[in-house]
């Protein structure tokens, strides 16, 4: 199985600042057939199901604020949240779907 | 609008089976891959299995032989049955639909079903 490792496990960022979360896969998740990375980012708040933020590594899901952006390729990916807002407090997960499906362990984001 | 509505919470004894349903609406049920993901209390997300538009299934190796994902196309309902329940199967179980066919990211989720395994 592909192992997804997120860093850090938790972080605290001031309102209005930028939060950066990393995700590293143990193997490449690049689909050679369409040159897209099978990598998604989710936000989960307590008592709620996860919410899709980014898919194909950098495509923002409909309705997601443009403060959220994804980048990276092959094995190294980044979720960036600009201009941090109070409602961004949550746990964030990366997920790969190139070879079966696996999630990272999650990163807890708090306000400093 | 797309909706996934799951059945209610369950309490089961070790060794028993549980079957969770996921009633879908707002789209053509047989067009998309459907998945089951679970989350133990305070833990991360774990993929369990999927059912593709053709009705074929694929399961995580960890659950092979214990899980079955099925569907009823007459009611647009997805099911997940887990047998041989253990205490560490206590979790919230989610159904999820892919954002688009062939993209294994989940744009739509059920509200979750808490399954508690307790003697």
pLDDT, residue B102, reads 79
pLDDT score for B53: 93
Q: Is some CB atom of chain A closer than 8 A to the CB atom of B63?
A: no
The 10s digit of each residue's pLDDT in A88-110 is 999 999 999 999 999 999 999 99
Q: Is B97 at the interface with chain A, CB within 8 A?
A: no
Per CB-CB distance under 8 Å, the chain B contacts of A90 are: none
Inter-chain CB proximity A52 and B106 less than 8 Å: yes
CB contact under 8 A, A55 and B61: no
Strands A68-73 and A76-81: antiparallel
Mean pLDDT computed over A79-93: 98
Yes or no: say if A17 and A67 are a contact pair by the CB < 8 Å rule.
no
What stretches in chain B show pLDDT beneath 50?
Answer: none
**Which residues are CB-neighbours of B58 under 8 A, at least 6 positions away?**
A100, B49, B50, B52
Mutation target among A49, A57, A79, A94 for the B interface, most CBs of B within 10 A = A49
Q: Which residue of B has its CA nearest to A106?
A: B44
C-alpha–C-alpha distance, residues B41 and B112, integer Å: 12
DSSP-derived letter for residue A61 is: P
pLDDT, residue B80, reads: 98
Percentage of residues of chain A with pLDDT beyond 70: 100
Q: Provide the pLDDT confidence category of residue A40 given band limits of 50, 70 and 90.
A: very high
Report the alpha-carbon distance of residue B85 to residue B15 in Å, rounded: 5
Q: Would you say residue A4 has pLDDT above 90?
A: yes
A49·B47 Cβ contact <8 A: no
**Farthest-apart Cα atoms in chain B, separation:** 41
Spatial contact of A111 and A84, defined as CB atoms under 8 Å apart: yes
Chain A closest-CA separation from residue B72 CA (Å) = 24
Q: With an 8 Å Cβ cutoff, are B50 and A101 in contact?
A: yes
Largest CA distance in chain A: 43
Residues of A with CB under 8 A from a CB of B: 1, 38, 40, 42, 44, 49-52, 55-56, 61, 93, 95, 97, 100-106
Predicted pLDDT of residue B101: 82
Give how far the C-alpha of residue A42 lies from the chain's centroid of Cα atoms, to the nearest Å. 6
Using a CB-CB cut-off of 8 Å, the residues of chain B touching A5 are: none
Do A94 and A77 touch, CB atoms closer than 8 A? Answer: yes
């Amino acid at each position: 199985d592909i192992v997804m490792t997120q860093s850090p496990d938790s972080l605290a960022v001031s309102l209005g600042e930028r939060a950066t979360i990393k995700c590293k896969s143990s193997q490449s998740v690049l689909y050679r057939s369409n040159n897209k990375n099978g990598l998604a980012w989710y936000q989960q708040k307590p008592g709620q199901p996860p919410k899709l933020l980014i898919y194909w590594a950098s495509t923002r899901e409909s309705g997601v604020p443009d403060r959220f952006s994804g980048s990276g390729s092959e094995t190294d990916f980044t979720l960036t949240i600009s201009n941090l807002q109070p409602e961004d407090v949550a746990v964030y997960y990366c997920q790969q779907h190139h070879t079966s499906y696996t999630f990272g362990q999650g990163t807890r984001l708090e306000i400093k | 609008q797309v909706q996934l509505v799951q059945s209610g919470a369950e309490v089961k004894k070790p060794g028993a089976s549980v079957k969770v349903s996921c009633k879908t609406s707002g789209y053509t049920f047989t067009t998309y891959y459907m998945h089951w993901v679970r989350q133990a209390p305070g833990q991360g997300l774990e993929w369990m299995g999927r059912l593709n538009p053709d009705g074929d299934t694929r399961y995580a190796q960890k659950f092979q032989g214990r899980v079955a994902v099925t569907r009823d196309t007459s009611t647009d309902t997805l099911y997940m049955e887990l047998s041989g329940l253990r205490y560490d199967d206590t979790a919230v179980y989610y159904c999820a639909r892919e954002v688009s066919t062939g993209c294994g990211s989940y744009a739509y989720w059920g509200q979750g079903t808490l399954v508690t395994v307790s003697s």
